[in-house]
Amino acid sequence: MNPGWEHDDAGEDGAESMVRPYTITRGRTAPARDDLTLITVLTTVEDPRDERGAPVRPGRLQPEHRRILDRCRQPAAVAEVAADLDLAVSVTKILLADLVGQGLLAARAPITVAWAAGGVDPSLLAAVRDGLRRL
């Protein structure tokens, strides 16, 4: 028997913090997609359809999945979603990948969003890059 074992509360706190993310991700430690970066922009799909055009019926969603869908009604970056959920980025990426895989969430690289809005000029970006290199 370990003397003082009953008074070692730090071990219990550490164990609890490890159990919750493990439970949320159902034991997974990596997302199904590896293209989600901290600045990937996510948006909830309003009328999700599968490849045949049939409406997508989401499976059972965890509370965190529902919070993500609510948060992403307005475009948000992965880092923002993780901060809003108060979860580690790695855990958040796993949950986001679930929703993208079900067709409930759209993920776009930030340059794609800016390009679609007409705000990206490739020659300007090249000029900035070249200027930074000269520094």
Token pair recorded at residue 5: 């074992």
Alpha-helical segments (H) within the chain: 9-24, 63-71, 78-85, 89-101, 110-116, 122-134
- Determine the average pLDDT of the residues in 13-25: 56
- Determine the average pLDDT of the residues in 21-42: 75
Distance CA 85, CA 71 (A): 9
- Determine the average pLDDT of the residues in 89-109: 88
Neighbours of 109 (CB within 10 A): 14
**pLDDT band with cut points at 50, 70 and 90 for residue 2:** very low
Q: Indicate if the pLDDT at residue 9 is higher than 80.
A: no
Q: Indicate if the pLDDT at residue 71 is higher than 90.
A: yes
Q: Indicate if the pLDDT at residue 5 is higher than 90.
A: no
Q: Indicate if the pLDDT at residue 42 is higher than 50.
A: yes
- Determine the average pLDDT of the residues in 71-96: 91
- Determine the average pLDDT of the residues in 16-25: 60
Q: For the chain, which residues make up each domain, given as ranges?
A: 22-115
**pLDDT band with cut points at 50, 70 and 90 for residue 50:** low
